[in-house]
Amino acid sequence: MKRTLLALAAATLALAFAPAQAQDYPNRPIKIIVPFPAGQASDSIARLVGEQLGKNLGQAVVIDNKPGAGGNIGTDAGAKAPADGYTLTMATAALPISKNVYPKLPFDPEKDFAPVTLMTITPLVLVARPSLPVDSVASLVEAARKAPGKLTFASSGIGTSHQLSSELLKALANIDMLHVPYKGSAPAHIDLMGGAVDIMFDNIVPVTPHIKSGKLKALAVTTKMRAPTLPDVPTMAEAGYPNFEAVAWFGLLAPAGTPPAIVERLSKEVNAILKSPDISARLANMGAIVQGTQPDEFGRFMSAEVKKWAPVTARAQIRVE
């Protein structure tokens, strides 16, 4: 009974303290954990937005890179941080995939975080080696059906959005292709351009120069709308797969239990930054499409991503211990 009364008293005190805490926020530097190495898209976006956020809030915003385990090390640290709004975490498309492929994940992407905002999405592009005798998704599917298991698709690693995009195409088109995982996109590009592998889904930014130089063929983009930087490349929906959508995305999370007033303020501040002319133009140059959602909208988006990839990972039997 004594423990119960103490717990109730602590909860009551926390509720009473939360409004004052939110009103005083922020009064010290804010940390954004980026669960990937410096220089990657998640890091670049965090630094771009974080610098302006610090100016607007009058407090320093520090970027803390914690890479490893497909982003799970840094994300776990973010999930276990104090729920006070001073430690935020960059979320990417890897997060809902991790829930489906890591059976021993030490955190729950849906339960252990308070969504702040979905910041940007970036199209993936289905590219093929120049010598592959296909010029569309339809001809690729036809070639795969004629030679089951013979065509190869590259990825930046097992359980990545690049692999899952190809697995989604396999499921929707009922075809069989062989997965060739690499340690990152760069070595995959080299083999793709050299003809060692046949196709790959990858982020639009690193493959666009190769497409424009003719070193790779672009067959489709994965967003519902055509990409402004590749306006002549059809979408997967236009190619006959209306249920196909797989994008790289980047969002901001706070630990679960963060006062709603703080979450709302962060969301409002970050969304205003994203939609400012200078920042939105710089993001567009990175191939990113600004979103700037409300917290509950971002939460629904993440839940939908978890559900979308569950049958794909199950069908492909992807598990990472």
Q: What digits encode the pLDDT tens for the residues 262-280?
A: 999 999 999 999 999 999 9
Indicate the DSSP class of residue 234: P
C-beta neighbour count of 287 within 10 angstroms: 22
Q: What are the tens digits of pLDDT across the range 202-245?
A: 999 889 999 999 999 999 999 999 998 899 999 999 999 998 98
CB atoms under 10 Å from CB of 230, counted, come to 19
Six token digits for residue 159: 């359980």
Which stretches of 104-212 are assigned E, i.e. beta strand? 113-128, 152-155, 178-181, 199-203
* Amino acid 186: pLDDT: 87
